[in-house]
Amino acid sequence: MSDQLSTKHLLGIGELTPEDIELIFRTADGFKEVLSRPIKKVPSLRDITVANLFFENSTRTRISFELAEKRLSADIINFSSASSSTKKGETLIDTVNNILAMKVDMVVMRHPDPGAAVFLSRHVDARIINAGDGTHAHPTQALLDAYSIRERLGKVKGVKVAIVGDILHSRVALSNIQCLRKLGAEVMLCGPTTLMPRYAASLGVRISHDLDEALRWCDVANMLRIQLERQGGDGVANFPTLREYAMLFGLDRRRYDAIGKDIIIMHPGPINRGVEITSDMADSSASIILDQVENGVAVRMAVLYLLAAGLDRSVRQ
Amino acid sequence: MQALTLLESTAFELTVQRLCHELIEDHGHLGSTALIGLQPRGVYFARRLKKELLKITGEEQITYGELDITFHRDDFRQRAVTAAPATTALNFSLDDRRVVLIDDVLFTGRSIRAGLDAMLSFGRPRSVELMVFIDRRFSRQLPIQADFVGRSVDSIDGQHVTVEWKESDGVDRVSLKQMHR
């Protein structure tokens, strides 16, 4: 069993080995225990400075990362593009290099363009954690989703997971598929054909366009958010109305009861209540949505801790 | 690599027994005492102590916890490998308790420093003492000394002291090994 990640950055799930993911989970177990203590802080990253660069709106992920960094005693710089010089036309590299000139060790970045994190990792000398890049990847979300499944079911291998909804625009879906498949889970994608990417068949997953069929098949249903802000970007609506979408692909009590077995309901948030999932299902005992949020902090602490381990104090001085 | 056995079987057990009696002599009633084993190797010693103490005192239970110090280490980024955490099981407050930190070998004192730091997340003990099975004298890097010592060992750099426990290693034994330079 390795005690070191095989990678310097967390850009996507693709570059992690199954052993890396296991190591992250084992470390997260330790941090979950820390988070249950009266004093929820450890000094591991005491001499590390982390910049949180959010070029796209985020509430949950930003707060979760910030809390994880604070629990690890890191120093933090927060940056969001709404109040910054990017509005004045500064390029990404310039912005980041200026921040790094202030001796930042790690960068957590969310960006609307796919590949932004990879691009950055090639040009700046700091550990990069991708907190979501456009429709491409959201590795920490995938890790915390798989971690939550592992926590609830005791394993991920062999578990059947249905990912339902707006697959086309979802970085969560793509990262989840990679992560779950690496850990030996079976994955089914379910949604209208217009929200199913053309390359879906090449991902090694089952595909269904019938929610009831997907629910009967799966042990875990991950109900993705309909990304209203990304719909119709190419001038074409992907479904006629939200109401029709909710009728065909929304999870409600009637549908759940009709499956005839207990399954686990997940949602990466934020929820469009009444669209992809009804309120009573989101708040039901089958839902682990708030566990996902709680686990997010522990998983992000693990990622920060393990990546920081590779930083050599003497070299940075 | 040649190993020299310092302690085994009967002598080993007697040492554990003696430490139990020393603790009882010093603390009297163990009602406010809390035993805390340091992960990873200190917990084997701590579990054995707990078992023996229950036998000797006839008490129903002794306050007992296990503490992982991984996230409090000061050599986190200087070691070749990152230490993966073990479990912490400490479900009581340390407020006003007489804490006995328990580890198998006291060497540089750095693990104990990390243990003290980690322990403070669980409350403010009345006092903290240190019990170790083996004290490697003359190798301290911090001003830390044990209150209860099973056996003192004078060793030099390049030597390694290993404590094995019946429960985990199948045999009770303390051995001194010469590592190749």
Residues of chain B with pLDDT below 70 are 1, 79-83, 180-181
Please check the confidence at residue A314 and state whether its pLDDT lies above 60. no
pLDDT of residue A98: 83
Q: What is the pTM of this model?
A: 0.86
Report the distance separating Cα A107 and Cα B140, nearest Å: 38
Q: Do A29 and B120 count as a contact with CB atoms less than 8 A apart?
A: no
Residues 31 to 50 of A: which have CB under 8 A from any B CB? 31, 33-34, 37-44
Task: Write out the two tokens for B31.
Answer: 């009602």
Bridge-based pairing of strands B159-164 and B173-178 is antiparallel
Q: What is the pLDDT of residues A126-180, one digit of tens each?
A: 899 999 998 899 999 999 999 999 999 999 999 999 999 999 889 999 999 999 9
Q: Which pLDDT belongs to residue A3?
A: 78
Model pLDDT, residue B80: 59
Q: How confident is the model at residue A37 (pLDDT cuts 50, 70, 90)?
A: confident
* Nearest Cβ partner for B122 among A27, A38, A313: A38
| Residue ranges of E strands in chain A | 49-54, 75-80, 106-111, 127-133, 160-164, 186-190, 206-208, 220-223, 264-266
Whether the CB of A153 is below 8 Å from some CB of chain B: the reply is: no
Give me the pLDDT at residue A269, please: 86
Q: How many CB atoms lie within 10 A of CB B25?
A: 8
Q: Does B82 touch chain A (CB under 8 A)?
A: yes
- Quick one: pLDDT at residue A316? 45
Cα angle: B119, vertex B87, A265; to 5 degrees: 120
A96 membership: H or E segment, kind and range: helix A92-100
Q: Do B68 and A30 touch (CB under 8 A)?
A: yes
Please list every residue in chain B whose beta carbon sits closer than 8 Å to the beta carbon of residue A20.
Answer: none
Q: Check CB contact under 8 Å for B78 and A34.
A: no
* Chain B residues near residue A3 by CB distance under 8 angstroms: 81-84
Candidates A37, A313, A316: best to mutate against B (most CBs of B within 10 A) is A37
* Mean local confidence (pLDDT), A91-102: 81
Asked if the Cβ–Cβ distance from B77 to A37 is below 8 Å, we say no
Task: Summarize pLDDT for A223-239 with one digit per residue, the tens.
Answer: 999 887 776 655 557 88
Greatest CA separation for chain A? 62
Q: Calculate how close chain B gets to A4, using CA atoms only, in Å.
A: 6
The structure tokens 């903290």 sit at B128
Interchain CB distance below 8 Å, B121 and A3 = no
- Tens of pLDDT, residue by residue over A123-139, are 888 899 999 998 899 99
Residue pLDDT, tens place only, A285-298? 999 999 999 999 99
**CA separation for the pair A175, A276 (Å, rounded):** 20
ipTM exceeding 0.85?
Answer: no
Return the pLDDT at B155. 83
Amino acid identity for residue A304 in this structure? L
Residue A256 is predicted with a pLDDT of 95
- What pLDDT score does A309 carry? 87
Is B82–A37 a contact, with Cβ atoms under 8 angstroms apart?
Answer: no
Total length of chain B: 181
- Of the candidates A8, A12, A3, A6, the residue with the CA atom closest to the CA atom of residue A30: A3
Contact with chain A for residue B109, Cβ under 8 A: no
Structure tokens at B72: 């409090």
Residue-level pLDDT at A317: 40
